[in-house]
Structure 1
Amino acid sequence: MVNEAIKEHGGHEVAVTVAPALPVQGCRLALSNLDLLLPPLDVSLFFCYPHPAPTVAALKEALAKTLVAYYPLAGEVVPNADGEPELLCNGRGVDFTVATAAGVELREVRLGAVDEGVEKLVPAKKAGGVVAVKVTKFGCGGAVVGCTFDHRVCDAYSFNMFLVAWAAAARTGSPAAPAPSFCRSLVTPRDPPLRAPSTDALIDRLFCPRSAAPPPPAVAASSVNRIYRVSAADIAALKASAGPGRTKLEAFTAHLWRLCSRAASPRQSQCCMGVVVDGRTRMSPDGAMRVYFGNVLTIPYGVTGSEDLRRMGLADVAGDVHRWVAEAATGEHFRGLVDWVEALRPKPAAARAYLGGTGGNEAMACIVSSGMSFPVGKADFGTGLPAFASYHFPWPAGAGYVMPMPSARGDGDWVVYVHVAPELAKVMEEEPTVFQALENSYVFQ
């Protein structure tokens, strides 16, 4: 198999550390209360470049320049006096690995079959590191640029800023402006913290202290990782069926929720669906958080009986999704969440959506995280845009994770990374529309 050859040839690797191009004054940067809601999870992504691909030298030089403004990414995550994680900004640098797959052509890699070896295209980040980069060079002259980052330090919005700046530095010699902001005052608790009963009730439903967390849904040992494509026409059809006022993501989430009910086992009497919501524009409608680097996320969810979901129409399910997303998509919710974490510290908290909501082991759980801002159209490192790009997040939690993002073709299609139980993958693949196999002929035209 081609991907087996990647594993074999990928064994020839050279690792270095890329430090900021200018000296960094050592300091400690606290994680915000919203960062502290994240468990220690690593998120990966990768870009596929046919010949001519960006050179390793160009990528390293541009990375060193970009790390001057994004200096926390060149540091380490260490515990503070209370045992909470924080950033030691010491200029240690980013681990950068170069692998060679000389006997393989990029167009032969089955990108949709993630479990067959695509995980070899992204780096395994060292403990304490913030970011790692891996470049895999192929015999055809193509290359894959893979990155892995610590989710406690930043969300996808933040890391997208870094990627765009890095690509601009490779393309033009200077990182893209504006520079990131690490100003924690944007997400500090109020003094004194405000505890409104209505706000706290929603937060208590969405989050809980980890010590009081219910057991998560059982992790399927055979969970599968796949990448599918969804045509622009099917996305539009879902949106139309979901009814007026519903977004494409709400329609997609509702469709997936219904598929979960079809895949649920007899003991999974409930299905929990969560959606990751970004709070930047909610907390700062004036745009003050546009360049804020860190996590600004909440995860509302809904739990509905599996049989009920199977009977409901798409418009009704999409209405439910819209309702519970809208409840959490407010500035007051995010400000209340910051205050709620402050009252709990240093005890860690967890999102209940990761745990199947209130259903625990009796729920089939899945989370949708939109990657529609994924900067595939700006990831030109000087030799052109990638032919393909995707996230890679085979996380250890029991809930499934689904990440739609724009296709590199720029035609309105989506590519969708999924980490789900095999029963759900089977249902997704058996339906006549929406989730379609990602073929090489689609990627490499």
Structure 2
Amino acid sequence: MVTPKIISEFTRKTTVRATNTSIKPYTHAFSNFDLLSGRAPVTVFYAYAKPRVGDYSSMLSIIKTSLSKTLNHYFQFAGRIVSNPITNLPEILCHNQGVELIEVYAGIDLASLDFYDLKQSLDNLFVPLSDEAPLQVQVTSFTCGGFLLSWCIDHIAADATANNMFLVSWAQVARNEPISNYPDHQKLIFQPRSPSSYSPLLDQTFIKCTEEMFLNPPNTYDVSVKRLYFVEASDVVKLQELANKNGDQRTKLEAFSAYIWKLAATTLVESDTHCNMGWLVDGRARMMSKDVQNLVGNFVSMAVGKTSVEKLTQDSISEIANVAHEAISKVSNKQHFLELNDWIECHKPGMFLAKVLLGISGPAVIVTSARYFALDDMDIGFGPPVIGTVYSTIPRLGAAYVNPQPSPKGDGSLVVFAMLWPKLAEALEIDPNHVFKTITATQFPSKNLAKM
């Protein structure tokens, strides 16, 4: 599918503030785990068909009104990120400066967008996030009456779990429903231990870095191809069956990772003898406490596996899934997160990232999961979106990035957003197993497709 030339036009910018004027200004400090996230912009978008009732103006009014009410509970998102002159650490000045809501008009039908080649179809649509704003919202309208609702959040303000909490709360407010999970902004649990203590694994995995290091990764692998794929539920089941072939019980994510890892190894230059894989691990469940489940901010670590190209090409999916399982198990525990908190405390001030993200440890693929972003949760009063996914407006990454999430069909199939180097994209697409399929309109539920 070739996307018609998109003639996009900026139409208006509005500042949306929290409605509760009794909230006194304050300064929101970031936790050590927030500092580990970097300052990367993270975009999430949902595509909505033309509303059956109401017009663009009424839809926009609901979005603005519900956003302003939701900001009462996520007040720091309406602030501005600044550097503390004493500690030199970033923080948010929460004076209800507001969230910028940007309106853009795209001169094509929504159904004409190429959801497979996202770089071609979307990169020029999104307005960049400013350096100081934690959050920015954009509404892109199309000639058919459909629209994209997107928000770009500075990663230092929220990880995927916290981002999803905000979005679900926003949709519930828009539908005039009570918020199901009230956010917790306290960071007392992130106090480092005294004395600090951490294992050598932390020095092996993480590094203090600069923004320049993040934005200008090594040029060996041009991770700039942006794709959206579809994976059948039956293929997910087959991969897990292969991973469990030797009697081990491996998760769908571990099986999915093993398949990608094995293919990635076949695309490397001859001088690269090893291939890395990383997995983002949420620490909330690892702390085994309900007190941290609704924390807003970042609470993730990175598990890293490194294996030789020879082993990856020769071993079975089951054997590679075992390597993934072992790497993830090392960080999927409370002790690891306590040590990581101490490690960051000992290396402040600065920005910190996993080495695997920067590409300095060699070629790598990061696999995460957007299982949080369910389409039905994002009904803002006009029905659920047709499709939605995380996205990155960053031109190029230091490691390939693969993010599977439940598809609109709700049958166990996946929609996968990926940033890849060209040969890896080609390997996934021409593999005889045809696990990664070009996404088309046939993968959308017919009831939603008919409205596009």
Fold shared per TM-score above 0.5: yes
Moved more, 179-188 or 45-54: 45-54
1:187 is aligned to 190
> 1:300–1:325: 8 Å Cα contact kept in structure 2?
yes
Deviation digits for residues 365-390 of structure 1, max 9, x if unmatched?
A: 11111111213220000011111011
Match of 2:16 among 18, 39, 52: 18
Deviation at 1:230, TM superposition (A): 0.5
2:348 is aligned to 345
1:94 is aligned to 99
Whole-Å separation in 2 of the counterparts to 1:106 and 1:210? 40
Question: Partner amino acid for 1:151?
Answer: H
Moved more, 431-440 or 413-422: 431-440
Whether 1:46 aligns to 2:45 is yes
Question: Partner amino acid for 1:439?
Answer: T
Whole-Å separation in 1 of the counterparts to 2:222 and 2:313? 26
Deviation at 1:409, TM superposition (A): 2.1
Moved more, 366-375 or 151-160: 366-375
Deviation at 1:2, TM superposition (A): 7.1
Deviation at 1:178, TM superposition (A): 2.7
SS at match of 2:175: helix
Question: Would you say how many aligned residue pairs link Structure 1 and Structure 2?
Answer: 431
SS at match of 1:125: coil
> 1:121–1:134: 8 Å Cα contact kept in structure 2?
no
SS at match of 1:117: helix
SS at match of 2:229: strand
Question: Partner amino acid for 2:39?
Answer: P
Deviation at 1:304, TM superposition (A): 1.1
Question: Partner amino acid for 2:407?
Answer: S
Identity level (%): 32
Deviation digits for residues 322-368 of structure 1, max 9, x if unmatched?
A: 001001111010011111111111144321221346xx3xx321111
Q: Which runs of 4+ in 1 moved over 4 A?
A: 1-4, 213-216, 219-222
Whether 1:292 aligns to 2:295 is yes
2:383 is aligned to 384
Question: Partner amino acid for 1:298?
Answer: S
Question: Partner amino acid for 2:242?
Answer: S
Whole-Å separation in 1 of the counterparts to 2:424 and 2:17? 43
Whole-Å separation in 2 of the counterparts to 1:2 and 1:16? 33
> 2:224–2:397: 8 Å Cα contact kept in structure 1?
no
For 1:138-287, list aligned pairs within 5 A. Answer: 138-172=142-176, 174=177, 176-190=179-193, 192-195=194-197, 199-210=198-209, 217-218=218-219, 220-221=221-222, 223-243=224-244, 244-283=248-287, 285-287=288-290
Q: 1:184 to 1:193 in 2, by over 3 A?
A: farther
Moved more, 395-404 or 163-172: 395-404
Q: 1:233 to 1:364 in 2, by over 3 A?
A: same
Q: 1:43 to 1:436 in 2, by over 3 A?
A: same
Whole-Å separation in 2 of the counterparts to 1:219 and 1:397? 11
Question: Partner amino acid for 1:156?
Answer: A
Moved more, 161-170 or 178-187: 178-187
Whole-Å separation in 1 of the counterparts to 2:178 and 2:130? 26
- Let me know the Cα RMSD of the aligned residues: 2.0
1:301 is aligned to 304
Match of 2:87 among 82, 86, 102: 82
Deviation at 1:397, TM superposition (A): 3.0
Deviation digits for residues 289-341 of structure 1, max 9, x if unmatched?
A: 11100101101111111122100100000000000100111101001111111
Deviation at 1:175, TM superposition (A): 5.4
Whole-Å separation in 1 of the counterparts to 2:121 and 2:366? 24
Deviation at 1:169, TM superposition (A): 0.9
Deviation at 1:164, TM superposition (A): 0.3
> 1:155–1:296: 8 Å Cα contact kept in structure 2?
yes
Deviation digits for residues 33-92 of structure 1, max 9, x if unmatched?
A: 011112210000110111217811100000000000000110111111222111111111
Whole-Å separation in 2 of the counterparts to 1:122 and 1:146? 8
SS at match of 1:336: helix
SS at match of 1:288: helix
Question: Partner amino acid for 1:89?
Answer: C
Whole-Å separation in 2 of the counterparts to 1:158 and 1:222? 27
User: TM-score normalized by structure 1?
Assistant: 0.92
Question: Partner amino acid for 2:239?
Answer: L
What runs of 5+ residues in structure 1 fail to find an aligned partner? none
> 1:42–1:393: 8 Å Cα contact kept in structure 2?
yes
Deviation at 1:4, TM superposition (A): 4.8
Whole-Å separation in 2 of the counterparts to 1:398 and 1:371? 20
Whole-Å separation in 1 of the counterparts to 2:182 and 2:125? 29
Q: 1:423 to 1:394 in 2, by over 3 A?
A: farther
Deviation at 1:194, TM superposition (A): 3.4
> 2:227–2:419: 8 Å Cα contact kept in structure 1?
yes
Q: 1:220 to 1:324 in 2, by over 3 A?
A: closer
Whole-Å separation in 2 of the counterparts to 1:156 and 1:193? 31
Question: Partner amino acid for 1:203?
Answer: L
Whole-Å separation in 2 of the counterparts to 1:3 and 1:25? 48
For 1:24-63, list aligned pairs within 5 A. Answer: 24-52=23-51, 55-63=59-67
Deviation at 1:222, TM superposition (A): 6.7
Q: 1:44 to 1:59 in 2, by over 3 A?
A: same
Moved more, 320-329 or 371-380: 371-380
1:106 is aligned to 110
> 2:80–2:93: 8 Å Cα contact kept in structure 1?
yes
